[in-house]
């Protein structure tokens, strides 16, 4: 059962599509539902698999065309960890500043609250007479447990 929050977010997605002159299709709604069912970062291929479980007519092309729409509408955030593959995650509606920590041992992406980022972005931008639009903080790290015990406690199996 969809939460009230997801219903409101789905309405936001439909409104965004309408403003852009795009149709609200069953495939796009299946992609939306699949994206908002995710609890962690996902790739376009992960999303395709999940969306096809909802509507088997969802095509790879529709997923790849819909992801930019969902990021432009600020419903999803695109995360690039430098591996050539993009990851996506639901964008927090409360506009929280987040940093990513990428475990180089298990390729897992962790999101942590980083409230100082707003201050930092405003401070460095204003020194140049600019207004910040986006910013990101990304840390690549090694698993301490893997080095000590030979097993990464963060490894997803």
Spatial contact of 120 and 97, defined as CB atoms under 8 Å apart: no
**Full residue range of the structural domain in which residue 66 is found:** 4-90
Q: Which of 43, 71, 90 is the last residue of a domain?
A: 90
147 CB-near residues (< 8 Å, 6+ apart)? none
Asked whether residue 86 falls in the same domain as residue 126, the answer is: no
- The rounded distance, in Å, linking the Cα atoms of 35 and 37 is 5
- The rounded distance, in Å, linking the Cα atoms of 15 and 52 is 24
pLDDT at 6 over 90: no
pLDDT at 148 over 70: yes
Confidence of residue 83 (pLDDT cuts 50, 70, 90): confident
pLDDT at 1 over 50: no
- The rounded distance, in Å, linking the Cα atoms of 1 and 3 is 6
Asked whether residue 78 falls in the same domain as residue 105, the answer is: no
pLDDT at 51: 97
SS3 125: helix
Mean predicted confidence (pLDDT) in 31-57 = 95
Dihedral sign computed on CA atoms, order 32, 20, 26, 47: negative
Confidence of residue 90 (pLDDT cuts 50, 70, 90): confident
Q: What pLDDT digit, counting tens, does each position of 109-125 carry?
A: 887 778 888 888 889 89
Q: Which of 90, 106, 139 is the last residue of a domain?
A: 90
Burial classification of residue 22, based on how many CB atoms lie within 10 Å of its CB (0-12 exposed, 13-18 middle, 19 or more buried): middle
Cα separations in angstroms, 71 against 3, 40, 59, 68: 21, 16, 19, 5
pLDDT at 55: 96
Mean predicted confidence (pLDDT) in 78-84 = 80
Q: Which of 48, 65, 90 is the last residue of a domain?
A: 90
Spatial contact of 6 and 58, defined as CB atoms under 8 Å apart: no
Q: How far apart are the first and last CA of the chain?
A: 27
Mean predicted confidence (pLDDT) in 23-52 = 95
**Number of domains forming the structure of the chain:** 2
Residue 155 included in any domain: no
Spatial contact of 152 and 106, defined as CB atoms under 8 Å apart: yes
Q: pTM of this prediction?
A: 0.70
pLDDT at 2 over 50: no
């Amino acid at each position: 059962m969809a939460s009230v929050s997801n219903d409101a977010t789905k309405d936001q997605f439909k409104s965004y599509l309408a403003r852009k002159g795009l149709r609200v299709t069953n495939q796009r709604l299946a992609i939306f539902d699949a994206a908002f069912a995710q609890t962690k970062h996902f790739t376009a291929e992960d999303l395709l698999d999940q969306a096809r479980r909802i509507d088997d007519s969802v095509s790879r092309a529709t997923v790849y065309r819909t992801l930019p729409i969902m990021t432009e509408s600020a419903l999803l955030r695109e995360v690039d960890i430098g591996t050539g593959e993009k990851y996506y995650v639901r964008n927090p509606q409360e506009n929280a500043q987040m940093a990513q920590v990428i475990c180089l041992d298990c390729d897992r992406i962790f999101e942590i609250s980083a409230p100082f980022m707003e201050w930092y972005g405003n401070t460095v931008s204003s020194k140049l007479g600019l207004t910040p639009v986006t910013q990101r903080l990304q840390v690549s790290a090694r698993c301490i447990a893997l080095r000590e015990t030979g097993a990464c406690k963060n490894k997803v199996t």
